[in-house]
Amino acid sequence: MAAPKVCFMTEIYHPNVNKLGKIDILKDKWSPALQIHTVLLSIQALLSAPNPDDPLANDVAEQWKTNEGQGIETGRARTRLYAMNNI
């Protein structure tokens, strides 16, 4: 009856994803009546709209707050390095 645990398999540079790839999905808004569709939409929304004021990765959140453009570029570089090595 607890919220599902979500963990990314590749390294991800995001203020709301910790160093182990885990995220806190839906937090206190979780209900067993929610479907996987809702969970996936929540993940998509979190990834597209980071919230550096509620971070799981403080260093990433700090960079995001001080220089968002550099944070985005670092995220893109990490994606190329860790998630696109087979392309």
> Is position 1 within any domain?
no
Q: What is the pLDDT of residue 6?
A: 87
> Is position 25 within any domain?
yes
Mean pLDDT of the chain: 89
Output the six-digit token pair for 58: 């403080």
> Is position 66 within any domain?
yes
* Tens digit of each residue's pLDDT (9 = 90 or more) over 24-64: 877 778 888 888 888 899 899 999 999 999 999 999 999 99
Distance CA 78, CA 42 (A): 22
CATH of the domain at 69: 3.10.110.10
Mean pLDDT on 51-80: 94
What's the predicted TM-score (pTM) here? Answer: 0.83
> Is position 87 within any domain?
no
> Is position 67 within any domain?
yes
Domain coverage including residue 20: 6-82
Q: How many domains does the chain have?
A: 1
> Is position 47 within any domain?
yes
